[in-house]
Amino acid sequence: MSRLMSSFFQAAPRQVSRRLILAGALAASLAPAAIQPARAQEPITVFAAASMTNALQDLGKAYTAKTGVPVRYSFASSSDLAKQVESGAPANVFISADNRWMDYLETRNLIVKDTRIPLVGNSLVLIVPASAPKQVTIGPNLDIDALLGKDGKLVTGIPESVPVGVYAKAALTKLGLWDKVRPRLVGAESVRAALALVERGEAAAGIVYATDAAIAKNIVVAGTFPADSHEPVVYPFALVKGNDTLAAKAFFAYLQGADAKAVYAKYGFTVK
């Protein structure tokens, strides 16, 4: 009997020890998963017209603070951005300053058609340096020589491609001023580039959007182009096909919400 009991007590510790070793191994295998930091949120990439810079930066910061999802932007002329999307740039959302470049991507089946929506609008204004303020009535009788001086230049976006330049050319043509302005016109790569030239006094005048003029320094608005002198300035938004992830869809919905519309209005956009 004593031998049997002795044998039991000798075997029992070995069984207990084996169980403890197995439990320890299991705990060790689970520990990394328990302490591993949460996976970083995949960022959302937005390609947007330069004139949307300030409003969208505010919205991106607010969205990240609310959700933890980073929002990255590429701001440039709509023409340049559309060509980049066509070349395969990894944008989730595309925002154009006109219908033309959204049409360009849509005809190439590069956007999710059902998501295309014109969210905001803008107006076209004539600006001059604050050091040489002027007020003019923009119409067929506008005195270009008096506006620009002897050697001054008028700057806007490249008339053949950059939306603000396309709108400007259309307006000047309808008003009968294009032929006189053309020899003195400088085409910039974006509306913000045109704005900067006037701000620095390197151009006698510029044609930009009202929202850009509103946030600029060292310029004054000399006049506003009649609404019927050009097509309405419209900004269509859309998801990019193939990159319309769940995260992108959520942010896209946010861009259409009440909070976003309040920010657009704050910066002077007309909200659709």
| Identical fold, 44-121+235-271 and 124-224 | yes
The mean pLDDT of 44-61, rounded to a whole number, is 98
In which band, very low, low, confident or very high, does the pLDDT at 129 lie, cut at 50, 70 and 90? Answer: very high
Res 3 pLDDT > 90: no
Residue pLDDT, tens place only, 253-270:
999 999 999 999 999 999
Distances in whole angstroms, Cα of residue 79 to Cα of each of 44, 125, 142, 189, 246: 21, 21, 30, 9, 27
Is the domain defined by 44-121+235-271 classed in CATH 3.40.50.1820? no
Res 159 pLDDT > 60: yes
Res 6 pLDDT > 50: no
CA atoms of 64 and 58, how far apart (whole Å): 10
Res 93 pLDDT > 50: yes
For 23-28, which contacts have Cβ atoms below 8 Å and span 24 or more sequence positions?
Answer: none
pLDDT of residue 40: 60
Q: Of 26-35, 48-57, 143-152, 256-265, which range is least confident?
A: 26-35
Within a 10 A sphere around the Cβ of 69, how many other Cβ atoms? 18
The mean pLDDT of 122-149, rounded to a whole number, is 96
Res 1 pLDDT > 50: no
Fill in the amino acid letter for 78.
S
pLDDT of residue 41: 80
Sequence ranges of the domains in the chain: 44-121+235-271, 124-224
pTM of the model: 0.84
Fill in the amino acid letter for 40.
A
CA atoms of 246 and 45, how far apart (whole Å): 13
Res 12 pLDDT > 70: no
Q: In this structure, are residues 122 and 235 in contact, taking their beta carbons and an 8 Å threshold? A: yes
In which band, very low, low, confident or very high, does the pLDDT at 71 lie, cut at 50, 70 and 90? Answer: very high
Topology classification of domain 124-224: D-Maltodextrin-Binding Protein; domain 2 (3.40.190)
Query: Which residue in the block uniquely carries the two structure tokens 């620095």?
Result: 200
In this structure, the dihedral spanned by the alpha carbons of residues 182, 184, 189 and 194, taken in order and rounded to 10 degrees, is -120
